Structure 1
């Protein structure tokens, strides 16, 4: 006798109608993944990314005879291949470790002209966010066309972030409830460190911000220590945070944020601004 259907089979059977929202129970996956493994993720460079498959509403096809050297929107043509479809603007907001996309889908209507990207290392979770984005686009296609500006990609951000974005491309980076890695020997796997902060500084434009939130005080203190100790960042004051709708959205719309709210836990929020690089001597 055949055994019970596998998770993927159940998942496919649940998607009977086009535009139907995916059910999270079919996309559950263990909470942690090893960030030091490649996970078969080998992006080559930002110029090699075909963003049109993630943001089809913003796709443009330039004439093959017209050169375009913008690394944010173009792809080289190796071996005389036909040009890959480009997009009319570049990604400017990244949610690193986006989980099931609560923040992504909350920000999308608030920033309709900005391309927002979630980066998630877990395969099933990434697929859930991608399917939800497709469903929401279809549901809003005949009216306001919302959610065309949001997508998700499977990525190991700790190893390959500069392979997706060029220098100064992003305006906002979100680090929401990252894995605290409590044991000292695991601290090297934390998403905030001196080395990783330099990568965030590389992909952020001057004036861009890194938004962080956690319910673990020890991790919060670690984040503050490592960003305040980095020459490319300054801490954003509390008065400025009060008028930033991204902060309130981050507090309330992430999956972990809702869980902390239900359990009566405390949320530690801190935001850092990318400083201008000093002039070369």
Structure 2
């Protein structure tokens, strides 16, 4: 099976995130059947003997990395080998683009048996359905790379970073979980940094903390948008944040 060609899956870059798109989504996270997306990972192990304790049954794996607006899936592919035992999911709102990523992953799995089994994509709207897929403190890493800038002031409410949405992201991120952001638009970078700095559950990571993170270098060139910015000799602005403990909970304890 050959890799799909992007020219057949091109779609306009902008999508209205508050429109009534048709999506299938679980009512709550425990109703999501992840085995359809990661069939090799969820292959049924042999049942334990009667003498074995039920406590020895392994806990089903769960998605820990999420690429919000994953585009053509470049970051997922890059991180798959870097974290081979971690399940990763791309969320993409555009139909043709999500179809491309799905077929790309299927082709990679066939071309490289045993590899790329830990990545998958879902067509969905992260601004509306994130808590439907992920439970509290489930995620360890979240990526928001080159999001739609929504330049017009009346459309800034469509931006993927806002005070309300950050509270939802904080809910699904575990303490010490990481939120990576990158854009080529300085105004959007400033917007994201301002909202994240103001949110009590996020702390900006220092350069020293980021220095040994193997993910950082993948953010610049793995995505379609990142490569386009490089070709156009544009700037890229990155900000990395850590999900901190809830200060109100600490006060109560």
One fold, TM greater than 0.5? Answer: yes
Q: Can you list the C-alpha shifts for 1:47-81, whole angstroms capped at 9, x where unaligned?
A: 11111010011114487xxxxxxxxxxxxxxxxxx
Is the CA contact 1:103–1:249 (under 8 Å) kept in the aligned structure 2? yes
Structure 1 residue corresponding to 2:32, chosen from 49, 54, 59: 49
Rounded to whole Å, the distance in 2 between the matches of 1:223 and 1:140 is 38
TM-aligned CA distance change 1:42 to 1:133, over 3 Å? closer
Structure 1 residue corresponding to 2:76, chosen from 81, 90, 104: 104
3-state secondary structure, aligned to 1:29: coil
Question: For residue 279 of structure 1, what is the aligned residue in structure 2?
Answer: 250
Rounded to whole Å, the distance in 2 between the matches of 1:239 and 1:128 is 37
Per mean C-alpha deviation after superposition, the further-off stretch among 34-43 and 256-265 is: 34-43
3-state secondary structure, aligned to 1:151: strand
Task: Compute the TM-score of the two structures, normalised by the length of structure 1.
Answer: 0.82
Q: Can you list the C-alpha shifts for 1:20-58, whole angstroms capped at 9, x where unaligned?
A: 211111111111111002311142111111110100111
Is the CA contact 1:38–1:156 (under 8 Å) kept in the aligned structure 2? no
Q: Determine whether 1:123 maps to 2:92.
A: no
The higher-RCO structure (CA 8 Å, 6+ apart) is 2
3-state secondary structure, aligned to 2:250: coil
Question: For residue 20 of structure 1, what is the aligned residue in structure 2?
Answer: 2
Question: For residue 30 of structure 1, what is the aligned residue in structure 2?
Answer: 12
Question: For residue 162 of structure 2, what is the aligned residue in structure 1?
Answer: 193
Q: Mark the runs of 5 or more structure 1 residues left unpaired by the alignment.
A: 1-18, 64-85
Structure 2 residue corresponding to 1:237, chosen from 166, 186, 206: 206
Is the CA contact 1:60–1:88 (under 8 Å) kept in the aligned structure 2? no
Q: Determine whether 1:217 maps to 2:177.
A: no
Question: For residue 172 of structure 1, what is the aligned residue in structure 2?
Answer: 141
Instruction: Let me know the Cα RMSD of the aligned residues.
Output: 1.5
Rounded to whole Å, the distance in 1 between the matches of 2:122 and 2:59 is 16
Task: Compute the TM-score of the two structures, normalised by the length of structure 2.
Answer: 0.91
Following TM superposition, by how much is the alpha carbon of 1:88 offset from its aligned partner in structure 2, in angstroms? 3.1
Rounded to whole Å, the distance in 2 between the matches of 1:57 and 1:42 is 23
Q: Determine whether 1:90 maps to 2:69.
A: no
Q: Mark the runs of 5 or more structure 2 residues left unpaired by the alignment.
A: 48-57
Q: Determine whether 1:159 maps to 2:150.
A: no
Structure 2 residue corresponding to 1:58, chosen from 12, 28, 41: 41
Rounded to whole Å, the distance in 2 between the matches of 1:166 and 1:38 is 24
Rounded to whole Å, the distance in 2 between the matches of 1:36 and 1:21 is 32
